[in-house]
Amino acid sequence: MTAKFQRDPLLDFTDKVVLITGAASGFGALLAEELGRRGASLVLGDINETPLDTLVEKLGGNGVSVAAIRCDVTSETDCGAMVALAREQFGCLDVAVNNAGIAPPMFYFEEVDEQTFDQQINVNVKGVFFGMKHQLKLMREQGTGTILNVSSMAGLGGAPKVAPYSAAKHSVIGLTRTAAVEYARHNVRVNAICPFYTLTPMLTDMPGSPEQIEQTHAIFAAGTPMKRLAEPEEIVSAMVMLCSPALSYVTGQAMAVDGGVSAF
């Protein structure tokens, strides 16, 4: 049986079908658990099958309806298969969250090689584009739908030492806004979320000794008015809000969740 949860009409996902890429860890896994508690049926994809299977077992044990598939977002075939699974398993797709992404290695601009640049574009841009392409087609046919793309504060401004990542995340916002304009008349909303540094595995498992990682985190935190990094749950709460069917007049937005950094 699912845990008892007080339904809030603003954030109720009962009978909604939600697709999440990069669902095996980080924001994706937390969002899957949160939306499952709120009544959603889930279609989950990730390139890492073992943690994905573990998450599916956990969700299923809590009474959540869930389907899962291995998805390498650099493959359009895989992205299309996720959407097809949603249609086959649940008959529709109400919400899609393009969350899969990779962290940036830190180099000065002139030190970046072509392979590093291409990897960022392939995962962080093509992965979003391929997902959206198939999600938008189904949502247009349905006459309704919501897409949330995970960008970054690096997509809203300059990001020293992560130029390819910044280029990729700016592209995600461009794709978001373009799709929002194209598909608004079909009752399809498309938004992006732009987190600042957050204590997900992408940041906590970065290379270096524990002392070096702690020092790096402290430097990042010092750049925020709140003087701390975000907890993953804080970003997921904003994601839930942006996915809510109740936010029916919000589209084409890139929402900063940044501890006040963008207020400077």
Average pLDDT score over residue span 104-124:
93
What's the CA gap between 117 and 144, in Å, rounded?
35
Could you read off the pLDDT of 217-257 as tens digits, one per residue? 787 788 888 888 889 999 999 999 999 999 999 999 999 99
Q: Within this chain, do residues 164 and 224 fall inside the same structural domain, yes or no?
A: no
- Select from 28, 76, 19, 18 the least CA-distant residue to 48: 28
Residue 134 inside a domain? The answer is: yes
Residue 264 inside a domain? The answer is: no
User: Which residues, 6 or more positions from 110, have their beta carbon under 8 angstroms from its beta carbon?
Assistant: none
Residue 263 inside a domain? The answer is: no
pLDDT band at 5 (very low <50, low <70, confident <90, very high): low
| Residue 226 confidence (pLDDT) | 87
Mean pLDDT of all residues belonging to the chain: 92
User: Which residues, 6 or more positions from 97, have their beta carbon under 8 angstroms from its beta carbon?
Assistant: 18, 19, 20, 21, 28, 31, 147, 148, 149, 150, 239, 243
Q: Within this chain, do residues 153 and 218 fall inside the same structural domain, yes or no?
A: no
What are the tokens at 124? 């962080």
**How many degrees, rounded to 5, is the angle at CA 209 between CA 208 and CA 212?**
80
Q: Within this chain, do residues 124 and 220 fall inside the same structural domain, yes or no?
A: no
Query: How distant is the alpha carbon of residue 173 from its chain centre?
Result: 13
| Residue 121 confidence (pLDDT) | 97
Q: Within this chain, do residues 205 and 249 fall inside the same structural domain, yes or no?
A: no
- Taking the whole predicted model, whether its pTM rises above 0.85 is answered as yes
Residue 206 inside a domain? The answer is: yes
Q: Within this chain, do residues 59 and 22 fall inside the same structural domain, yes or no?
A: yes
Q: Within this chain, do residues 92 and 208 fall inside the same structural domain, yes or no?
A: no
Q: Within this chain, do residues 48 and 84 fall inside the same structural domain, yes or no?
A: yes
Q: Within this chain, do residues 113 and 87 fall inside the same structural domain, yes or no?
A: yes
pLDDT cut 70: percent of the chain above it:
97
Q: Within this chain, do residues 122 and 221 fall inside the same structural domain, yes or no?
A: no
What domain range includes position 161? 9-195+232-257
Residue 262 inside a domain? The answer is: no
CATH number of the domain within which 25 lies: 3.40.50.720
Residue 3 inside a domain? The answer is: no
- Token pair 């890139």 is at which residue? 254
Q: In this model, does residue 262 exceed pLDDT 80?
A: yes
Q: In this model, does residue 80 exceed pLDDT 90?
A: yes
Q: Within this chain, do residues 237 and 223 fall inside the same structural domain, yes or no?
A: no
Q: In this model, does residue 4 exceed pLDDT 60?
A: no
Q: Within this chain, do residues 100 and 202 fall inside the same structural domain, yes or no?
A: no
Could you read off the pLDDT of 9-68 as tens digits, one per residue? 789 999 999 999 999 999 999 999 999 999 999 999 999 999 999 999 999 999 999 999
| Residue 1 confidence (pLDDT) | 41
* Total count of domains within the chain: 2
Rg (CA), the chain: 18
Q: Within this chain, do residues 204 and 240 fall inside the same structural domain, yes or no?
A: no
Residue 1 inside a domain? The answer is: no
Catalytic residues: 165
Average pLDDT score over residue span 135-143:
98
Residue 4 inside a domain? The answer is: no
